[in-house]
Amino acid sequence: MNKMISLVQEHDKWRSSCINLIASENVMSPACEKFYVSDLMHRYAEGTPFHRFYRGLKYVDEIENLAQEEFKKHFNANFADIRPISGTIANFSAFSGISERGDKILSLGIENGSHVSHEKAGAAGFLGLDVDTLCYDNDLSMDAEKSAEKILAVKPKFIVIGGSVILFPQPIKELKEACDKVGAKIIYDAAHVFGLIAAGIFQDPLKEGADIITTSTHKTFPGPQGGLILGNIEEQTAKTIQLRVFPGFSSNHHLHRIPALYCALREMQEFGKDYAEQIVKNSQALARELFDNGFKVLGEKKGFTQTHQAVVDFEKPGAGHEAAVKLEEANIILNKNMIPGPNQSPKMPRGIRIGVQEMTRFGMKEPEMKEIARLIKETVRDERGIDEIKKDVIGLRSGFQAVQYCFGKD
Ligand SMILES: *Cc1c(COP(=O)(O)O)cnc(C)c1O
């Protein structure tokens, strides 16, 4: 027992002394954490609110219904399913709800930022979907014209956009016309940018013509780990998707998440605009500083980024991996990432993906981003000893320990 206690304590202590820049992570507020730990975590509730297979749910039904309706209202959606316990399960459910084995779909392709669940190796492949890719340029910007032509030629059942590496809004409106012509639905996987969308500072996929949003609830959106599906869809499609969520891809849906999820949405309604605007200011400041220090940063011609992410290309196979390992020694945590272009593999990519959402939540602003860029540069270029850099990282992080933009600050 003691071993486990100390491992968890060491983990917590270490991560609170790190600059955490993994683009898919975040932290919950104290108020959300409080909601997360309750008797709900012991209970089962198969089905939808007020239509259950279990007993003991008179409050659970109200809780889930309240959260579900708030998501519908906030995102102007006629459908919300907040049960998927991960973004991947949201994708499994939505994809399988609107397609059959052998159907063609178009995704971005991993090297252009899609998630593995959109690909042959993941959910789409396991569902027997025939995956081809939309058209991209080398700066992670979709070529709308060529992509529309491809949609007309391939006539997919649906296209899935959004993605895991996403720097700019995607041309939903432009693709919509082609999709309508061939009867293809548009799924926007908002996992990374869901917080920015919720705050109203990024493209609103449903308003721009997407049929369905799938998402994780713990990346820029600072909720508990989980997934959800939103949409403006016909009743029959909605029912089919619900049946994929349960009994399809899970039975129980981890009820303690739900009040925490609701709390995170309410926080976004109160504080989301300031939080999200600061995120984008921060990612742009960090990208700019790295660029000014001689790094190749994607999206240069368009101001580097309009999301929480910045992507650096070290222009050498495996250099992304080496950098990420070294940075971790200095308590800077981020992931290696593929960059559009040749000479790399997922294990030995050329680049790194940086996400500023978590450090923004702890109150960091542009001056701290410049400091972080300096520390990254010093580490990657071997300009100072790792121990010295690590001391600076710990010092910098020590001033940013409390979650901002939330209820229940201390
Ligand atoms: C992270 C991510 C997912 C998967 O979410 P999980 O909750 O980890 O299953 C799906 N799609 C995209 C685009 C993602 O970035």
The answer regarding whether domain 30-266 maps to CATH 3.40.50.300 reads no
H-type alpha helices, 16-137: 30-36, 58-74, 87-97, 123-126
Please answer whether residues 90 and 143 qualify as being in contact, where contact means their C-beta atoms are separated by less than 8 angstroms.
no
How far apart are the CA of 215 and the centre of ligand 1, in A?
7
How far apart are the CA of 115 and the centre of ligand 1, in A?
7
What local confidence, expressed as pLDDT, does residue 140 receive?
79
Please answer whether residues 267 and 407 qualify as being in contact, where contact means their C-beta atoms are separated by less than 8 angstroms.
yes
Q: List, as one string, the DSSP characters of 229-249.
A: EEE---HHHHHHHHHIIIIII
Q: Is the pLDDT of residue 189 over 90?
A: yes
What is the three-class DSSP state of 342?
A: coil
Please answer whether residues 229 and 89 qualify as being in contact, where contact means their C-beta atoms are separated by less than 8 angstroms.
no
For residue 139, name the pLDDT band (cuts at 50, 70, 90). confident
For residue 343, name the pLDDT band (cuts at 50, 70, 90). confident
How far apart are the CA of 22 and the centre of ligand 1, in A?
13
What is the b/e burial string over 149-179, where b = at least 16 CB atoms within 10 angstroms of the residue's CB? ebbeebebbbbbbbbbbbbbbbbbeebbebb
What local confidence, expressed as pLDDT, does residue 72 receive?
98
Of 164, 170, 188, 212, best ligand 1 pocket probe by most atoms within 8 Å of the beta carbon: 164
Give the up-direction half-sphere exposure of residue 386: CA atoms within 13 A in the CB hemisphere: 10
385: Cβ contacts below 8 Å, ≥ 6 apart: none
What local confidence, expressed as pLDDT, does residue 340 receive?
80
CA–CA gap between residue 72 and residue 79 (Å, rounded): 6
CA 257 to chain centre: 17
Diameter over CA atoms, the chain = 63
Please give the model's pTM, rounded to 2 decimal places: 0.97
What local confidence, expressed as pLDDT, does residue 136 receive?
86
The full set of domain ranges for the chain reads: 30-266, 271-398
Q: What is the token pair recorded at 211?
A: 């049929």
Give the up-direction half-sphere exposure of residue 303: CA atoms within 13 A in the CB hemisphere: 12
Of 117, 159, 249, best ligand 1 pocket probe by most atoms within 8 Å of the beta carbon: 117
Give the residue whose CA is nearest to atom 2 of ligand 1.
191
Domain 271-398: CATH architecture, name and number where available: Alpha-Beta Complex (3.90)
Q: Residues lining ligand 1, judged by CB closer than 6 Å? A: 24, 86-88, 91, 115, 117, 162-164, 189, 191-192, 216, 227
What is the three-class DSSP state of 40?
A: helix
Q: What is the pLDDT of residues 141-178, one digit of tens each?
A: 899 999 999 999 999 999 999 999 999 999 999 999 99
User: How large is the average pLDDT for residues 19-33?
Assistant: 98
**What's the mean pLDDT when you consider all of the chain?**
96
Q: Is the pLDDT of residue 16 over 80?
A: yes
Q: Is the pLDDT of residue 270 over 70?
A: yes
Q: Is the pLDDT of residue 344 over 90?
A: no
How large a percentage of the chain has pLDDT more than 70?
Answer: 100
Q: Is the pLDDT of residue 260 over 90?
A: yes
Q: Is the pLDDT of residue 410 over 80?
A: no
Please answer whether residues 147 and 133 qualify as being in contact, where contact means their C-beta atoms are separated by less than 8 angstroms.
no
For residue 392, name the pLDDT band (cuts at 50, 70, 90). very high
Task: Report strand pairing: 158-162 vs 185-189.
Answer: parallel
